[in-house]
Amino acid sequence: KIKKDYLLAYERLIFVNLLLNEFDEVEKIYKNYIEVSNRRLEVLHNYVIFRLFFKGFKDQDNVKLCLSIIDEVMQKDKNNYRALNTYGFILLNSGNMELAKQHFEKCLGIKDDFIHANNNLGVYFLRKGDLKVANEYFEKALQKNINFIPAHENRLQILIIEKKFKEAKDYINKIK
């Protein structure tokens, strides 16, 4: 058992176990970490990210658990832009697009240059078929961080949808 005042050890254990693909162990460590950290918001949020990426969206019980944890974070801090974005991300990937859009917009109302929310709102518009507006949000994300791969991938997807294959090839060569 790790001392309560040495929370960094939990983060290091999580990292090492992720590298070793020991996901069950990561789950156990996170449960201890959440309790000894007194349910710190960033620990709860990071736990949700772990569960989403390693357990996915197909498991509806996982989605419900992640939504309830993020809801707890937002109840404690209504201006937690990361939690708003993550909540929107879960909704977007669970088919509740309109509510997802509201969460991304609220997130951007708090932190307008948050690259993940700009990219996610772009994905919303991409899925709705509004390629022009989608591209504008991907551009906003890239203005903040030119190396943000998801926004590049989404811009590339637009070029392919538009059947601009030569431009897509040029874009790939430009960003690699």
Span 138-157, pLDDT tens digits:
999 999 999 999 999 999 99
Instruction: Please give the pLDDT value at position 115.
Output: 97
Q: 100-104 — which CB contacts under 8 Å span 24+ positions?
A: 100/124
pLDDT tens digits, one per residue of 83-141: 999 999 999 999 999 999 999 999 999 999 999 999 999 999 999 999 999 999 999 99
Which one-letter amino acid corresponds to residue 77? D
For the segment 29-61, what is each residue's pLDDT rounded down to a tens digit? 999 999 999 999 999 999 999 999 988 888 999
Average of per-residue pLDDT values in the chain: 94
Residue 3 has pLDDT above 70, yes or no: no
What pLDDT is stored for residue 7 in this prediction?
A: 85
pLDDT: which is higher, 81 or 1: 81
Token representation of residue 88: 């929107």
Q: Where are the beta strands (DSSP E) in 47-96?
A: none
pTM value? 0.89
CA distance 27 to 37: 15
Instruction: Specify the pLDDT at position 6.
Output: 81
* CA-based radius of gyration for the chain: 18
Q: Which residues contact 134 (CB under 8 A, 6 or more apart)?
A: 122, 123, 124, 125, 126, 154, 158
Are 33 and 7 in contact, with CB atoms under 8 Å apart? yes
